[in-house]
Amino acid sequence: MTAEPSSFFTRRIIVVTGKGGTGKTTVSATLGLAAAHHGLSTLLVEVGAFEQLPRLITGRAEEPVGYRGRLLQPGIQAIRIEPFAALAEYLGLQIGSRRLVAQALRNRSLRQLLRGAPGWRELITLGKIWQLEQMEGPNGNPLYDLIIVDAPATGHGLTFLDIPHVARSAVQSGPLARNARRVEELIRDPKRTQILPVSLAEELPAQETGELVQRLRHDLGLVPDQVIVNAVAPPLPCPDPAELEQSLRRLPGDLPLTQLPQPESLADAVAHTSARHRLNQAYLIEIAERTGLPLVVLPLLDHGVNGPVELEALRPALIESGQGPGIVPPREPAS
């Protein structure tokens, strides 16, 4: 399987997941920009307590988009699925009386129960995503061509994806079972949904990404098209780092330098940068071996990812990776 550049845009839903701190939000935002650029009506979905996507997309402080959502720029809508709001909407549709639901959700007992009860937040969030996928525009076409979900970190992320199944095995019949089944079918349908793991080329993320892909395969029967490996250190801006380091270490330590550090420190910087690069390269291979999937490599940007300028810089690496040098071909999974 090759990751064609368009493979991101052939499904309705991309669930971006991975270990915490790997850059899921950056990848979600970059994909959102790319999809809009591609002419797709795109919805970005956040599920955490803090909104990060709007600020990344526009590059300035943004009022929360909240559960109602807001158009950030042409082609890019953003929403944060707040579980209580989603529950109120869902119950309103089920019961047919928003007044009764509003009254019920003000009930202190029920709120206490819901605050403590596990699982329902994930289920209602996925239910809302299902509903968004079903929504139609005025011409009868889907309202959103592509829905990008910035999912919770891996541990919780897999729970997130598996929750409809859990709910369905706990509840055999009735409206909840019916709705959970619909959501489960959507999540497990490779024609409609793609799970996109994001990793770093470091030890723990590599290990966790390997486990995530295995569990997706075995527990959910899902095979991602590719793995995004984020923030990979670039090669050093010099032809032979080892030689440079050695040559620097042979220089006297008291050169009359005005701004640059002394050779010893320069040698340390070369050694460190070079070691980071080598480490990243080694873990790229490890991720490829552990997952057996093609990798899409995003470069470490000098000044971090702060807004649309950096997202634009990442976009080609992400989208045109199908033919570019950024991709590592698939390997046989390690036994």
Residue 220: CB minimum distance to another protein, A: 13
The residue among 97 and 134 lying less far from another protein, judged by its C-beta, is 97
Gap between the Cα atoms of 284 and 314, Å rounded = 18
Alpha-carbon distance of 70 to 54, in angstroms, equals 9
Q: Which amino acid appears at position 19 of this protein? A: K
We find the least distance from the C-beta atom of residue 139 to another protein, in angstroms, to be: 34
> 184 in helix, strand or coil?
helix
104 vs 143 by CB, closer to another protein = 104
Nearer to another protein, 216 or 327 (CB): 216
Distance CA 333, CA 210 (A): 10
Q: Quote the DSSP letter at residue 250.
A: H
What does the DSSP assignment read for 106-144? H-HHHHHHHHH--SHHHHHHHHHHHHHHH-B-TTSSBS-
Q: List the strands of the sheet with 13-18, edge to edge.
A: 70-73, 76-80, 42-46, 146-153, 13-18, 193-200, 227-232, 295-299, 327-328
Q: What is the DSSP string of 276-305?
A: HHHHHHHHHHHHHHHH-S-EEEEEPPTT--
Do 98 and 116 meet the contact criterion of CB atoms below 8 Å apart? Answer: no
CB of 122 to another protein, least distance (A): 6
Contact 322, 4 (CB under 8 A): yes
Please identify, using beta-carbon distances, which residue of 71 and 251 lies nearer to another protein: 251
Smallest distance from the beta carbon of 322 to another protein, in angstroms? Answer: 28
CB of 9 to another protein, least distance (A): 26
**In angstroms, what is the minimal distance from the CB of 158 to another protein?**
9
* Three-state SS at 102: helix
Question: Considering beta carbons, is residue 106 or 191 the nearer one to another protein?
Answer: 106
Nearer to another protein, 38 or 156 (CB): 156
Tell me whether residue 174 or residue 325 sits nearer to another protein (CB atom).
Answer: 174
Q: Between 51 and 145, whose beta carbon lies closer to another protein? A: 51
Cα(138)–Cα(106) distance, rounded to whole angstroms? 35
Least separation in angstroms between CB 292 and another protein: 20
- Looking at this protein, which amino acid is placed at residue 228? I
CB of 160 to another protein, least distance (A): 7
